[in-house]
Amino acid sequence: MNVKIRVPVPAICAEDLGAAHALLREVYEEEMRFPKSLVTLELVKLNLDHSDRVRANAAAIAAGEGLDVELLQLAALLHDVSKLDHREIWSGGIDTWHHHHRGASLAKKLILANLKLDSQVADTTARIIEAHSDVPFIRRYWEVVYHSSLPTPVTPEEFALRDADTIDLLWVGGMSKLVHIRQVPGSAFYKEDGGDIKKAIISARSSFLESISVLSTNTGRDLAVSRILTVESFFDVVVAVKDLWEFDQVYQRFLAEKCA
């Protein structure tokens, strides 16, 4: 991988991270106020929980790789700040596919205007956020649907955030989400599978394996080991389902057994 040398940025404190978390919640809840918005409190909570997990992953990776722990936590907290942007599109009024571009821009504005942090912090965080979505199945989506490419990580911090986010995808919840995305009628993924649930599961597993391959830090790969084994066992039990309803039933039973 082509890694650029990192440049130190001004210090970020715990209070800044707390304020960033509060800002993220405010942005998400504001999306609920759009007329006919599909953003719910449950969806807000799901995305906040995701950002918290990615923050924990990012902190662990930063510590393990000798990177700026606070900077990576700030980028992790705000990496999906535009994930719930309201748009009237086929995906149901919430446009997630462009969130790395719009999120980088919005994060920069929030860091400067609301957190009052240094412009170098804002610029660096925005660049880290913009490169976090570059995993194979999303990259292919952009090439097919938008005829363009995704920003690729080039600094250690950018690789670290992509690893932190990818690790959260490498879980049964992430695989369930991929299967559901591939079962949305009219979507590019639905067309690839012909709407067939078994093909959707096979495609999701392929995306899972490709996502493992992009992990670029030793710490990130170590964090992912047990998750990868669990997801592989999940695929073993859903391989024979006949429809999305049955898939969801098996998924819930699997989670209940793992959490028992």
Rounded mean pLDDT for each run of 10 residues along the chain, 260 residues in total: 59 94 96 86 94 98 97 98 76 70 94 94 96 92 87 96 97 94 89 94 96 97 96 94 96 87
| Sequence-separated (6 or more) residues with CB below 8 Å from residue 170 | 208, 211, 212, 224, 227, 228, 231
**43 and 100 in contact (C-beta within 8 Å)?**
no
Is this structure's pTM higher than 0.95? no
From the CB of residue 153, how many other CB atoms can be counted at a distance below 10 Å?
A: 24
Domains and CATH numbers, the chain: 1-135 (1.10.472.50), 170-260 (no CATH)
Buried b (16+ CB within 10 A) or exposed e, 105-115: ebbbebbeeeb
Residue 86's pLDDT is: 73
Residue 128's pLDDT is: 97
Residue 1's pLDDT is: 54
d(CA 37, CA 78) in angstroms, rounded, equals 21
What's the Cα-to-Cα distance from 181 to each of 35, 50, 149, 188, 211, rounded to whole Å?
24, 17, 20, 10, 16
Residue 3's pLDDT is: 59
User: What one-letter code names the amino acid at 149?
Assistant: S
**68 and 13 in contact (C-beta within 8 Å)?**
no
Nearest to 100 by CA among 36, 38, 156, 149: 149
| Sequence-separated (6 or more) residues with CB below 8 Å from residue 146 | none
**136 and 142 in contact (C-beta within 8 Å)?**
no
d(CA 17, CA 73) in angstroms, rounded, equals 7
**9 and 122 in contact (C-beta within 8 Å)?**
no
Residue 24's pLDDT is: 97
Q: For residue 184, how many C-alpha atoms fall within 13 Å in the half-sphere facing its CB?
A: 13
